[in-house]
Amino acid sequence: MERTNAYGEGYAQQMTDAYARAGVNIDAGNETVERYREVTADWRHPDQLGELGGFSGLFRLPGDGSRALVASADGVGTKIMIAAQMNRYDGVGRDLVNHCVNDILVVSATPLFFLDYLAVGKLEPAMAADVVRGVAQACRANGMALLGGETAEMPGLYKAGDFDLAGTIVGIVDIAAIPNKERVAEGDAILGLPSVGLHTNGYTLARALIAPGEYAQPFDGATYGDALLAQHPTYAAEVRAIRRVADVKAMAHITGGGLIDNVPRTLPASCMAVFEQTRWTVPPIMAELVRRGNLGNEERYRTLNMGVGYTLIVPFMDAAKAIAAVPAAQVVGFVSPRQPGGPAVVVHPARA
């Protein structure tokens, strides 16, 4: 069966791409979310707001109908394997917190508290302390409490040296301040905040293309390992500055699935996002992965963030004010009408 991809071309329903060959099937992930919606559709709590499948979940604050608690849970993917191979652990703790902060930032939430989960094959106190030190530092930087968490030693599940890391964040938001994607309209500008690297996605592919023996080798003024472990930033300060001067209609954190799978969450059915890659710079590590993996356009913009870590949709007339407030922001695309059955996202790549 054929469908139309982000470039108007037909492609097989089950893509066979570099990421899938490395072991991650994005299509299967999207299908799983749809099945989650099906198996949870028969009941919802009366104070639950929104639907499953967003960047975070919302729950009306008991005793205060004007505000909602916002929660999200996530991990840092197989970036932890590179951290373990390089014996650098505190960075992934910061990555975890900042990723979760960005996920609830999409609905304008302010973070309140965080809990971490660290699972290991053999507990090494110094390593665990390094991980949690990074978590604590990022919580402090984001003005939220680290309430605690769970450390699990499971030698039957993980080998010595293996570990997994996840976290849960809870924030709060005025319901009236939550962006409404139904307000997005033709002609709106899409602002992009730059990424510094892979952040917390695409690492299974990166590990397939860059061997551990290369991590110490020079790359882009540092090493491949430095580029792969570049910290996932939080965009909270930039988003708040933009919201003070611009009407932000919708936002997306560009995580797994890239621009192609994340931005559609911020669009009404009648609209599509048209990106022009000539408007921003692709980080060198991503250009290197594209080269090594011979990644096609569909693969690169669906697997990697390709230099855009966060998007905001604003009226065209507000774009200049937003960029004046946050010079790192750029207009990376525009909103156009979407034809029935047409793609939600089109990316016009840079041409050689």
The last residue of one of the domains, among 177, 206, 235, is 177
Name the residue with higher pLDDT: 25 or 122.
Answer: 122
Task: For 306-331, give one letter per residue: b (16+ CB within 10 A) or e.
Answer: bbbbbbbbbbeebbebbbebbeebbb
Inside any domain, residue 30: no
Q: Evaluate whether 346 touches 272 at the Cβ level (below 8 Å).
A: yes
Inside any domain, residue 36: no
Tens digit of each residue's pLDDT (9 = 90 or more) over 236-263: 999 999 999 999 999 999 998 999 999 9
> Residues 112, 66: one domain?
yes
Question: Which residues, at least 6 apart from 299, have a Cβ–Cβ distance to it below 8 Å?
Answer: 15, 17, 18, 19, 293
> Residues 333, 197: one domain?
yes
Which amino acid would we find at residue 107? V
Q: What is the CATH number of the domain that holds 105?
A: 3.30.1330.10
> Residues 196, 80: one domain?
no
Instruction: For residue 135, give its domain range.
Output: 56-177
> Residues 146, 190: one domain?
no
C-alpha distances in Å from residue 323, one per residue of 13, 245, 263, 278, 328: 39, 10, 20, 17, 7
- Residue 88: Cβ within 10 Å count: 15
Inside any domain, residue 324: yes
> Residues 262, 185: one domain?
yes
Q: Evaluate whether 108 touches 250 at the Cβ level (below 8 Å).
A: no
Nearest Cα to 209, choosing from 304, 277, 322? 304
pLDDT in the model for residue 5: 39
Nearest Cα to 299, choosing from 6, 1, 4, 2? 6
Q: What φ, ψ does residue 44 adopt, rounded to 5°?
A: -145, 145
- For 166, the token pair is 């996840």
Question: Which residues, at least 6 apart from 220, have a Cβ–Cβ distance to it below 8 Å?
Answer: 227, 284, 285
Provide the number of structural domains found in the chain.
Answer: 2
SS3 199: coil
Inside any domain, residue 45: no
* For residues 7-30, average pLDDT: 50
> Residues 192, 87: one domain?
no
Characterise 262 by phi-psi region: left (phi > 0), alpha (psi -120 to 50), beta (else).
alpha
* For residues 10-28, average pLDDT: 51
> Residues 148, 92: one domain?
yes
- Report the distance separating Cα 111 and Cα 99, nearest Å: 12
> Residues 210, 321: one domain?
yes
Q: Evaluate whether 346 touches 271 at the Cβ level (below 8 Å).
A: no
pLDDT in the model for residue 24: 57
Q: What is the CATH number of the domain that holds 205?
A: 3.90.650.10
Tens digit of each residue's pLDDT (9 = 90 or more) over 155-204: 989 888 889 999 999 999 999 999 999 999 999 999 999 999 999 999 99
> Residues 200, 170: one domain?
no
Task: Tally the C-alpha atoms within 13 A of residue 236's C-alpha that lie toward its C-beta.
Answer: 20
Inside any domain, residue 297: yes
Which alpha helices (H) appear in the chain, and where do they start and end? 18-22, 26-39, 79-86, 90-105, 125-141, 203-209, 224-228, 236-245, 258-262, 284-293, 297-303, 319-325
Residue 8 has pLDDT above 50, yes or no: no
The last residue of one of the domains, among 117, 147, 177, is 177
Residue 78 has pLDDT above 60, yes or no: yes
Which amino acid would we find at residue 202? G
Inside any domain, residue 99: yes
Inside any domain, residue 312: yes
Tens digit of each residue's pLDDT (9 = 90 or more) over 318-328: 999 999 999 99
> Residues 328, 196: one domain?
yes
The last residue of one of the domains, among 177, 192, 211, is 177
> Residues 203, 281: one domain?
yes
> Residues 198, 289: one domain?
yes
Nearest Cα to 116, choosing from 105, 108, 99? 99
Provide the whole-model pTM: 0.89
Task: Tally the C-alpha atoms within 13 A of residue 73's C-alpha that lie toward its C-beta.
Answer: 8
Mean pLDDT over each residue of the chain, to the nearest integer: 90
Inside any domain, residue 19: no
